[in-house]
Amino acid sequence: MRNKPIFKVIAVLAVVLFLFFIVFSALQSKTSAVNPPKQKIKKHIQAPTFSSDSAYTYIQKQVDFGPRNPNSVPAKECGDWLIDKLSEFGANIITQEDIVTAYDDTKLNMRNIIAEFQPEKSKRVLLYAHWDTRPFADKDTVRINEPIDGANDGGSGVGVLLEVARALQNNPTDYGIDIILFDSEDYGRPTYASGSNYKDWCLGSQYWARTPHKKNYRAKYGILLDMVGGKNAAFPREGTSLQYAENVVDKIWKSASSLGHDGLFQRDQSNPTTDDHLFVNAVGIPSAAIVEFHVHQMGGYGKFHHTHQDNMDNISKETLQAVGDVVMDVIYNE
């Protein structure tokens, strides 16, 4: 009987401690709700400097070979040069060479050029453009059946990617990057011909989609560059890109806005287009196109599209600089 007061004290203390625990837990929860733990903010990385002078020189070099339409001597010579240049920048080179059939049953000697940076990395991002040029000037009024220089349509995307490759040589990213230069993109049916089919175009990327350069190849996302060097260019949010890869579009256009390039990278939306990214998206790699199109103009691709005016006179270093800055900012802040 003498121990009852002790038991009572212990019982009271237990109740007090239990109530204290409940009150303390409630206060902690309230404090956490009012002041949630701060999330770690990812530091923005300053990308290496992109040189539009260098990109311009790479475009000029391609044009100097002459029109690079499939089966031509300039195509063979330029393709060899592209391989040498990408090798010089430290890339592992894979080529896909085969014969593909054009809309008119012409047999085309196709060569896709793949440049791997840090091929041992499992996480990868894909950058691509087409390096061939239009075999005829079907939107021109003169020399309609002759091939065009393709300074912008073909040359500009390649020029930007060569400069990106040069930067990657000494400034590797935390993951692997693949640069693909697709062939035979621009051998589609002329505008004046009937029976157009979307599979007339992009024969190189269609081939790659069926037969990737590595079995079960995957990339987190892809960026297509097509006609990215023209004067007074405009890059709307392209319809096919929004359909398959809206998050990639948002990533690119957010970067462009932060760099002050809203004037070029516009919020307008263009209709879906047939370009190499259509077939890359089709195999499950979400890809967005940076491609010139003037939404509010008739024939939105511009007056020199598929004409002999697609030459170096229409290439702008300012446009190249903006596109290069955006691509570099995106890939170095992945």
Q: In this structure, what CATH number is given to the domain that contains residue 195?
A: 3.40.630.10
- Whether residues 67 and 8 fall in one domain: no
Work out the angle between the directed axes of helices 52-65 and 157-170 (0-180°, nearest 10). Answer: 130
pLDDT above 60 for 6: no
pLDDT above 50 for 9: no
Give the ranges where the chain is alpha helix by DSSP (H).
4-34, 52-65, 73-88, 157-170, 203-210, 239-258, 276-282, 317-332
Residue 246 CB partners (closer than 8 Å, separation 6+): none
pLDDT of residue 25: 55
Q: Would you say residue 252 lies in a domain?
A: yes
For residue 291, what pLDDT band results from cuts at 50, 70 and 90? very high
Q: Find the range with the poorest average confidence among 32-46, 111-125, 303-317.
A: 32-46
Q: Per-residue pLDDT tens for 183-209?
A: 999 999 998 888 889 999 999 999 999
Q: How big is the chain by its Cα radius of gyration, in Å? A: 27
Residue numbers of the domain that contains 9: 1-39
Q: Do the Cβ atoms of 172 and 118 come closer than 8 Å?
A: yes
**Mean pLDDT to the nearest integer, 112-132:** 98
Nearest to 108 by CA among 46, 178, 184: 184
Both ends of the chain: CA-CA distance in Å? 74
Q: Would you say residue 306 lies in a domain?
A: yes
- Whether residues 7 and 122 fall in one domain: no
- Whether residues 95 and 20 fall in one domain: no
pLDDT above 70 for 3: no
pLDDT of residue 191: 86
Q: Per-residue pLDDT tens for 58-81?
A: 999 999 999 999 999 999 999 999
